Amino acid sequence: MRTEVDVDGAYMEKRKKSDVKAKRMSRIKKILTYAAFVGPALLFFLTIQIVPFIMGVSYSFTSWNGVSSAVEWVGLDNYIKIFTDDSKFFNSFVFTTKFMLAAVFISNIIGFGLALLLNIALKTKNILRTVFFIPNVIGGLLLGFIWQFIFIKGFASVGNLTGLSFFNQPWLGDEVTAFWGIVIVFAWQISGYMMVIYIAALQSVDKNLLDAAKIDGASSVRMLGSIIIPLILPAFTICFFLTISMAFKIFDLNISLTGGGPFNSTESVAINIYQEAFQNNRYGLGSAKSILFFIVVAIFTTVQVMTTKKKEVEA
């Protein structure tokens, strides 16, 4: 006969097995749920981003022309050629870096200024937000052709009517004015997007802090520098990251406005890589340039994020 201890032991063993099975089923259910939601996005990310990136890295060590089936392995020859015999690529890097610095500064100044303006109680603020954001939804190629007409025809007409030399300059025909022309159009396009991010950050600032500062006699400028900006530093981190990456990767706006001219003085790195790979049929060399470009952009954005994140902690 089975004793009471044996019965209790069998019951506890059965209960333990049941709990283990339930936990296993719960874990499997959770994994399947995650896979159902994350799986498709992960699959597309791997297919569209990771796999092409790995292929690009491998092609950068070849002399493939992008057309034939013959792929010759050349090792580091493409990278050596870039550093020793490709001044055009480095000139495009210099232009892109200068453009990035100017565009990031101007775009964020305008975006933050518009956010401050539209954060106050204006009756038309919702309409103005839409108006300022609309340029961001216009495609870069279309926007470039629109502003090309404005610079060539519109500014010339205004200059003839007013006699102002500012409008009569060869905006897209001179190296200096073409550079600033691209900066103006980029800032005009992207500032509305930055404005939306800054407005969201400004609306999260505790009004009680501002009211207390006013009672203590703080001016608007003092509140802006000592309270508002330190509290919305995460928004600056995001906006700087976005504008740096967008400015570095400028292509469609650049190619539709100037095409890299005059005399390749406004040729961005993206245009240089495009011409190398798809016009000169040197896909291997173009891939090597794109990998170097990726490394530089990654370094710039990483340093920027680390620096601004440190400021957030200090604030």
Q: What is the CATH number of the domain that holds 298?
A: 1.10.3720.10
d(CA 184, CA 110): 11
Answer whether residue 25 shows pLDDT above 90.
no
User: 97 pLDDT band (50/70/90 cuts)?
Assistant: very high
In a domain, 72, yes or no: no
Token output for 92: 């495009």
Question: For 305, how many CA atoms within 13 A lie in the half-sphere containing its CB?
Answer: 12
Residue 51 structural domain:
1-59
Do 113 and 253 lie in a common domain?
yes
d(CA 57, CA 75): 11
Do 48 and 82 lie in a common domain?
no
Amino acid 139 reads G
Q: pLDDT tens digit string along 288-306?
A: 999 999 999 999 999 998 9
In a domain, 68, yes or no: no
In a domain, 67, yes or no: no
- Of 1-10, 48-57, 63-72, 120-129, where does the model show the most confidence? 48-57
Answer whether residue 260 shows pLDDT above 90.
no
What's the number of domains the chain is made of?
2
Helix ranges (H only) for the chain are: 4-45, 51-59, 77-84, 87-118, 125-137, 140-149, 155-162, 175-203, 207-215, 220-223, 229-231, 233-248, 252-257, 269-274, 283-314
What is the predicted pLDDT for the residue at 1? Answer: 47
Decide: helix, strand or coil at residue 62: strand
Q: pLDDT tens digit string along 49-73?
A: 889 899 989 999 998 887 887 788 8
Do 31 and 165 lie in a common domain?
no
Mean residue pLDDT of the chain comes to: 86
In a domain, 69, yes or no: no
Task: Determine the straight-line distance between the first and last CA of the chain, rounded to whole angstroms.
Answer: 75
d(CA 235, CA 243): 12
Do 110 and 216 lie in a common domain?
yes
Decide: helix, strand or coil at residue 281: coil
pTM: 0.84
